[in-house]
Amino acid sequence: MAKDKNTPQKKPRFSSWWIYGLIILFLIGYQFLGSDNFSPTKKTTTSELQEFLRNGDIDKILIITNTRQAKVFLTDEALSKDVHKDVSNQPFSLTSGSVPQYVLDYGDLQNFENDIKKIKQENNLDTVVDYDTESNVFMELLLSLLPFVLIIGIWIYLMRRMSGGGAGGAGGQIFNIGKSKAKLFDEKTDTRTTFRDVAGLEGAKEEVEEIVEFLKNPDKYTSLGGKIPKGALLVGPPGTGKTLLAKAVAGEAKVPFFSLSGSDFVEMFVGVGASRVRDLFKQAKDKAPAIIFIDEIDAIGRARGKNNFTGSNDERENTLNQLLTEMDGFGSNTNVIVLAATNRADVLDKALMRAGRFDRLIYVDLPDIRERKEIFEVHLRPIKTAETLDLDFLARQTPGFSGADIANVLNEAALIAARKERKAVTRQDFLDAVDRIVGGLEKKNKIITPGEKKTIAYHEAGHATVSWMLEHAAPLVKVTIVPRGQSLGAAWYLPEERLLVRPEQMKDEMCATLGGRAAEKVIFNKISTGALSDLEKVTKQARAMVTIYGLNDEIGNVTYYDSTGQSEYGFTKPYSEETARTIDMEISKIIEEQYARAISVLEENKDKLIELAELLLEKEVIFKEDLERIFGKRPFKDNFDRLGQEKAVAVTEEEKAEGPQEESKASEEANASEQAEEETVEQKE
């Protein structure tokens, strides 16, 4: 209670604009309602006016020519009559002068005058008929002053915003446009994200935790002569948890944490970006020790001099130059650590990447099966499940998924369960969510002819048959001919998570991918456009074998892959026209060989292919158990355990000698898994 008493209560702020508004409303109301509305002036009709005139009740008729209105003034004797008792009271007027008892809106002036003149002659009346015009002085004055009032009002509004009196924050004001737009988290800020919420990413989390520990307890490291790192760059594919890791740092660090995006430095005014960089580091230095986090740093950190055809000074380069100076220049900022995140490390400037600016380059890769299990455990906390879920099974069903993808799967599972009026989320909901995200939404109402449906069934059965008969192809999980998304059919596979991919493995996967078109050729002796996505996939794989990984005998041990990513800006190819023709021939040769191989496999198992396709036409969805019943168990040795990891094998002396060479190739062939890994779903156009 004492705390409440000491807390100053905010008084309601009174704005002078309310007074101005009330005055304006009063003036406008008075103008449009008119002063006559406060008096008992009554509207009348032409027939009543003629009747009053015949009775001799009217003393004067004032015709206002510009408003087409007639004002009627009664005699003193008429005011005492009962018929005029409603207007006989003394009228109230805000203006000086007499107030009429009646007012009439006439039509044609000449006819109106003739009627009055005729009645006056017939009844020998001396009623005065006068003419006048009325001008609205207030309205004319208001219309003449309104433009000036608007200009002055807008000017006052802009000046108040410039001076900081308006809303919008420091970055939205003209004079404060060079101020940093960073959001500050300090130890008093309720930040819910901690390292407990970050699953997997063990190596990255360990390095980041060390940075936090350095800021908390610097003597532990400086006593041995160590220096605080200047910065750490988080690099990895989208959705792997780079920003989440930074949020965890903000939650764990007991130091001020400045968070902003790389695009916050960008503005249309010259010099704003550099000014915001200076202001950001000034604020961080004043609150040192502090951490600065710049998300999507590639917005300002791209390599200088690229695509600068105009030769003019680039505002983005000025911002980058200022950032380089602040991170490691003559005026170095002590106890200020810069964290940054990007998924385009290949386009960053080399001066930004050097040691002394970003001392640590932390790779945040896609999670493996063990890390996916941990991610499932974190994201399952707020979800109400109906049973104890097998997390190992869920992790095996989501190869190649990032942390964001897993969160999306669990959220989609909860939505599916709610859509089905369930009280808790079941295992089937998770499987449906994976199918929904990977394959797309089922379109059971899509119009498909029986002939097309039969073609789709044999196409998908061809994929399943060839993949089942090849050793290195990914084992089948599920096949459906129900349209999903843009595809007319889909097949789910469970790929082995390999770090190194050999040519025979890639060729088996290509052969299985071409199994759909091959089945159409074997059964119908016709092909269709349904294999578009298959052809796209095998063409990319064959091109990668020839031009990237050096797995082609004709081209040899040559790669045309540029890991820096700068080749995409060039206009010339890194090989001659003759080599280009050779590459095209070899790509076509590889694809046609695997196509012929797929046809050969299907010819040998044609009866089983037909049986599988007919079953697929009947059920529309088949599973691994159906293939085992038709084809039997796969005749290949299972070199992978239930977690998808390769079983340990005894290492020979020759393999030990080859070990260092293989390890040296690992960094260059690490991307092979991404290119060669079987897609989780194959879609048909």
Q: How far are the Cα atoms of 461, 610, 615, 637 from residue 603, in angstroms, in the given order?
A: 13, 11, 19, 24
Residue pair 517/531 in contact (Cβ under 8 Å)? The answer is yes
| Residue of 296, 315, 460, 509 marked active site | 460
Judge if the upstream peptide bond of residue 289 is cis by omega within 30 degrees of 0.
yes
Cα–chain center distance at 592: 41
Gap between the Cα atoms of 569 and 543, Å rounded:
20
Closest by CA to 608, choosing from 489, 474, 464, is 464
Gap between the Cα atoms of 608 and 613, Å rounded:
9
DSSP state of 397: T
Cross-strand partners of 74: 58
Closest by CA to 323, choosing from 296, 346, 357, 348, is 357
Starting at the edge strand found earlier in the chain, the sheet holding 231-235 runs: 183-185, 257-261, 290-295, 336-342, 231-235, 360-363
Gap between the Cα atoms of 602 and 181, Å rounded:
63
Gap between the Cα atoms of 518 and 553, Å rounded:
26
Tokens linked to 93 = 């007027």
Residue pair 541/509 in contact (Cβ under 8 Å)? The answer is yes
- Residues near 39 by beta carbon (within 8 Å), at least 6 away in sequence: 91, 92, 93, 99
Gap between the Cα atoms of 182 and 271, Å rounded:
18
Gap between the Cα atoms of 523 and 525, Å rounded:
6
Q: Known catalytic residue: 614?
A: no
- Residues near 441 by beta carbon (within 8 Å), at least 6 away in sequence: 484, 485
Cross-strand partners of 102: 42, 72
Closest by CA to 358, choosing from 233, 270, 247, 529, is 233
- Residues near 492 by beta carbon (within 8 Å), at least 6 away in sequence: 435, 438, 439, 476, 477, 478, 479, 680, 681
Cα–chain center distance at 583: 39
- Residues near 654 by beta carbon (within 8 Å), at least 6 away in sequence: none
SS (H, E, C) 243-278: HHHHHHHHHHCCCCEEEEEHHHHCCCCCCHHHHHHH
Q: How far are the Cα atoms of 240, 392, 487, 518 from residue 397, in angstroms, in the given order?
A: 18, 9, 21, 28
Amino acid at the residue 108: D
Instruction: Encode 187-196: b = buried (16+ Cβ within 10 Å), e = exposed.
Output: eeeebebebe
Q: What is the dihedral of CA 587, 589, 592, 597, to 10 degrees?
A: -120
Q: What is the DSSP string of 356-390?
A: TTS-EEEE-PPP-HHHHHHHHHHHTTTS-BSS---
Residue pair 683/494 in contact (Cβ under 8 Å)? The answer is no
User: What residues are annotated to the active site?
Assistant: 460
